[in-house]
Chain A
Amino acid sequence: MSSAGIRKARLATEDPIWVKALILTLVVAFLTLVLILPLGVVFTQALAKGWKVAWAAVREPDAVAAIKLTLLVAAIAVPFNAVFGLCASWAIAKHDFRGKAFLITLIDLPFSVSPVVAGLIYVLVFGAQGWFGDWLIDHDIKILFALPAIVLATIFVTFPFVARELIPLMQEQGVAEEEAALSLGASGLRTFLRVTAPNVRWGLLYGVLLCNARAMGEFGAVSVVSGHIRGLTNTMPLHVQILYDDNDATGAFAVAALLCLLAVVTLVLKTTLEVAQPDVAGRRAH
Chain B
Amino acid sequence: MFRRRSAIPGFGLTLGITLTLLSVVVLIPLSAVALKAAGIGWDGFVAAGFSERAMRAYRLSFGAAFAAAAINGVFGMITAWALVRYQFPGKTVLNALVDLPFALPTAVAGIALVTLYQPGNLLGVWLDALHIKAAFNFTGVTIALTFIGLPFVVRTLEPIMRDLAADVEEAAASLGASRWQTVMRVVLPSLGPAWLTGFALAFARGVGEYGSVIFIAGNLPFKTEIAPLLIVIQLEQYEYGAAASIAVVMLLVSFAMLFVINAIQAYARRLAA
* B262 on the A face (CB < 8 A): yes
Partner of A94, one of B6, B105, B215, B235: B6
Please determine whether A90 and B29 come into contact, CB atoms closer than 8 angstroms: no
Please determine whether B155 and A217 come into contact, CB atoms closer than 8 angstroms: no
Please determine whether B147 and A35 come into contact, CB atoms closer than 8 angstroms: yes
Give residues of chain B (166-195) contacting chain A, Cβ–Cβ below 8 Å.
166, 169-170, 172-174, 179, 182
Please determine whether B30 and A113 come into contact, CB atoms closer than 8 angstroms: yes
| A contact residues around B220 at 8 Å (CB) | none
* B33 on the A face (CB < 8 A): yes
* A54 on the B face (CB < 8 A): no
Give residues of chain A (1-54) contacting chain B, Cβ–Cβ below 8 Å.
8-9, 12-13, 15-16, 19-20, 23-24, 26-28, 30-31, 33-39, 41-42, 45
Please determine whether B10 and A90 come into contact, CB atoms closer than 8 angstroms: yes
Please determine whether B102 and A244 come into contact, CB atoms closer than 8 angstroms: no
Q: How many angstroms between the C-alpha atoms of A285 and B103 in the bound complex?
A: 13
- Distance in Å from the Cβ of B121 to the closest Cβ of chain A? 9
* A63 on the B face (CB < 8 A): no
Q: A37-B116, A112-B204 are in contact. Are A237 and B111 (CB under 8 A)?
A: no
* A139 on the B face (CB < 8 A): no
Q: A114-B209, A286-B155 are in contact. Are A219 and B10 (CB under 8 A)?
A: no
Q: A175-B8, A253-B111, A285-B152 are in contact. Are A12 and B169 (CB under 8 A)?
A: yes
* B132 on the A face (CB < 8 A): no
Q: How many angstroms between the C-alpha atoms of A33 and B115 in the bound complex?
A: 13
Partner of A34, one of B30, B115, B147: B147
Please determine whether A120 and B235 come into contact, CB atoms closer than 8 angstroms: yes
Partner of B113, one of A38, A116, A249: A38
- Distance in Å from the Cβ of A20 to the closest Cβ of chain B? 6
* A 208-252 to B, binary, CB cutoff 8 A, 1 in contact else 0: 001001101111100110000000000011101100100001001
* A142 on the B face (CB < 8 A): no
Give residues of chain B (135-152) contacting chain A, Cβ–Cβ below 8 Å.
143, 146-147, 150-152
* B208 on the A face (CB < 8 A): yes
The number of chain A residues with a CB under 8 A from chain B is: 107
| B contact residues around A36 at 8 Å (CB) | 97
Of chain B, the residue at the smallest CB distance from A108 is: B258
| B contact residues around A192 at 8 Å (CB) | 10
* B 206-239 to A, binary, CB cutoff 8 A, 1 in contact else 0: 0111110001000000000001110110010010
Give residues of chain B (11-70) contacting chain A, Cβ–Cβ below 8 Å.
11, 13-15, 17-18, 21-22, 25-30, 32-33, 36
* A188 on the B face (CB < 8 A): yes
Main secondary structure of the interface of A (DSSP, over half): helix
* A266 on the B face (CB < 8 A): yes
Of chain B, the residue at the smallest CB distance from A239 is: B107
Partner of A263, one of B25, B94, B104, B159: B104
* A268 on the B face (CB < 8 A): yes
| B contact residues around A219 at 8 Å (CB) | 105-107, 210-211
| B contact residues around A259 at 8 Å (CB) | 104-105, 108
Q: How many angstroms between the C-alpha atoms of A191 and B143 in the bound complex?
A: 50
Please determine whether B18 and A91 come into contact, CB atoms closer than 8 angstroms: yes
Please determine whether B105 and A95 come into contact, CB atoms closer than 8 angstroms: no
| B contact residues around A16 at 8 Å (CB) | 179
Chain B positions within 8 Å of A, measured between CB atoms, are: 2-4, 6-11, 13-15, 17-18, 21-22, 25-30, 32-33, 36, 75, 78-79, 81-82, 85-86, 88, 92, 94-109, 111-113, 115-116, 122-123, 143, 146-147, 150-152, 155-156, 159, 166, 169-170, 172-174, 179, 182, 198, 201, 204-205, 207-211, 215, 227-229, 231-232, 235, 238, 240, 243-244, 247, 250-251, 254-255, 257-258, 262
Other A-B contacts than A42-B111, A96-B3, A266-B103, 15 sampled, CB-CB below 8 A, are A27-B94, A35-B101, A91-B14, A106-B26, A112-B208, A117-B231, A117-B247, A120-B231, A179-B8, A249-B111, A256-B112, A267-B99, A267-B103, A268-B96, A285-B201
5 pairs, CB–CB < 8 Å, chain A vs chain B = A12-B169, A13-B173, A96-B4, A109-B26, A112-B258
Chain A positions within 8 Å of B, measured between CB atoms, are: 8-9, 12-13, 15-16, 19-20, 23-24, 26-28, 30-31, 33-39, 41-42, 45, 83-84, 87-88, 90-92, 94-98, 103, 105-117, 120-125, 127, 129-131, 152, 155-156, 159, 175, 178-179, 182-183, 188, 191-192, 210, 213-214, 216-220, 223-224, 236-238, 240-241, 244, 249, 252-253, 256, 259-260, 262-264, 266-268, 270-271, 283-286
